[in-house]
Structure 1
Amino acid sequence: MSEFSHLNDRGEANMVDVSGKAVSQREARAEAFVTMNEAALTLIEQGGHHKGDIFGVARVAGIQGAKLTPQLIPLCHPLMLSKIGVELELQRVQGRVRIETRCKLDGKTGVEMEALTAASVTALTLFDMVKAVDPGMCIEGLRVLEKQGGKTGHWTADEVADV
């Protein structure tokens, strides 16, 4: 694809017309990382935070974020998501938490933005819950890992790693 899909013939922003597209099963995975200090990692690992289950709250926030994507990103279509998954993994050696999200549906448009929004909101919620212990945390590495379905078929981030 060599043109921006959200611009009309006059270069104005517009929502893409997907009415003529075929319904297909579509899926996308995204990831993000939250790097933090040892004290924050230990607090998460031991589950002793006064705000409760940090990963549980962040997971629910990510799911909610995916569902709210069209209200946050102006030209996104409202979608009937059939699956939203959010996984969090404490990676102590790297000093971070890895977030991986997965969104799925049968529809006429992809779910990359929903997967990215889920990862972003999960990371932001994790940051919010732990910021008193480590205000210097860093959210990084937000990207789409994989997408499937639609006209472009199956794509993985590994395919563009050499570009």
Structure 2
Amino acid sequence: MAAPASALTHLSPDGQANMVDVGEKAETVRTAVAEGCVTMKAETLATIMAGNAKKGDVIGAARIAGILAAKRTHELIPLCHPLLLTKVAVDIAEDTALPGLRVTALARVTGKTGVEMEALTAASVACLTIYDMAKAVDRGMVISGLRLVEKTGGKSGDFRAAD
């Protein structure tokens, strides 16, 4: 069931979109971790892991793309605040059970608003970059499982996704 409009922080009482005023909120350390997966053929994964992709270092490029995306989230997602991020890390690990790559992104800030969108944006753009760099050999790759894994700090407290 959808939350009533009055519970949505980015809507005014008359239903108009607006940027939340965080001016009165306390600055706290806020961290968010998001993840996503790119499932692919085993041969594609082997090519990436061997460093033989024609476009170059897939994992390195995807890591940089994810970090850059986190830093530009406010330009991509309407109503997000620009944040002075203190940490962004993107980890990309081989997962032969998929087969594919598992992306984990961490974003941290000391500020007045959370970094969930920055972590989610980093993970999603890293996954998209993996797809872009390997699509010549495997157009059937699937990006899935994009989700917030955990967040800490702020008035709403901590969150940890169920496994």
Question: In which range does the TM-score fall when normalised by the shorter chain?
Answer: over 0.9
How many pairs does the alignment contain? 159
Stretch of structure 1 that moved more, 1-10 or 146-155: 1-10
Counterpart in the other structure of 1:133: 137
With normalisation by structure 1, the TM-score equals 0.94
Give yes or no for contact 2:68–2:122 (8 Å, CA) kept in 1.
yes
Counterpart in the other structure of 2:102: 98
**2:64 aligns with one of 60, 63, 72:** 60
- Structure 2 CA distance, aligned partners of 1:126 and 1:62? 10
**1:48 aligns with one of 27, 52, 60:** 52
Amino acid at match of 2:85: L
Counterpart in the other structure of 2:19: 15
Stretch of structure 1 that moved more, 118-127 or 149-158: 149-158
* SS of 1:78 mapped into structure 2: coil
CA positional deviation for 1:52:
1.7
Q: Where do 1:1-163 residues align within 5 Å? A: 3-158=7-162
Q: Deviations over 1:14-49 (max 9, x none)?
A: 000100000000000000000001221110111112
CA positional deviation for 1:93:
2.2
CA positional deviation for 1:50:
2.4
CA positional deviation for 1:81:
0.2
After superposition, the CA RMSD in angstroms is 1.2
- Structure 2 CA distance, aligned partners of 1:81 and 1:67? 7
Q: Which runs of 4+ in 1 moved over 3 A?
A: none
Give yes or no for contact 1:70–1:77 (8 Å, CA) kept in 2.
yes
How many percent of aligned residue pairs carry the same amino acid?
Answer: 51
With normalisation by structure 2, the TM-score equals 0.94
- Structure 2 CA distance, aligned partners of 1:136 and 1:50? 17
- Structure 1 CA distance, aligned partners of 2:98 and 2:11? 41
CA positional deviation for 1:125:
0.4
Give yes or no for contact 1:39–1:133 (8 Å, CA) kept in 2.
no
Q: Which runs of 5+ in 2 are unaligned?
A: none
